[in-house]
Amino acid sequence: MLGLDLNGGQSAGPLLCSSDDDTFLCRDAILVTLLNWGSSVFAGFVVFGIIGFMAEQLSLDVKDVAVKGE
């Protein structure tokens, strides 16, 4: 969960600083930040869903399916 917080922080600061006076630019900056965060969450569900499915099909634990470097 910390990775999601850091990912959102990297895009939120510069975008919000660049949206100083323009209301539409501020709205767009917030939208891009939320889309960035949302795509990260979605990607996490996809990756771990696939790993969980592989573990189920192979009758293994997740830790045995996701071996580093293999």
pLDDT tens for 23-60 read: 666 777 778 888 888 998 899 999 999 999 998 998 98
Is the model's pTM score more than 0.85?
A: no
Is there a contact between 18 and 25 (Cβ–Cβ < 8 Å)? yes
Does a structural domain hold residue 70? Answer: no
Q: Which residues contact 28 (CB under 8 A, 6 or more apart)?
A: 19
Q: What is the mean pLDDT of residues 18-27?
A: 64
Does a structural domain hold residue 30? Answer: yes
Total number of domains constituting the chain:
1
Three-state SS for 36? helix
Does a structural domain hold residue 7? Answer: yes
Does a structural domain hold residue 36? Answer: yes
Full residue range of the structural domain in which residue 14 is found = 2-65
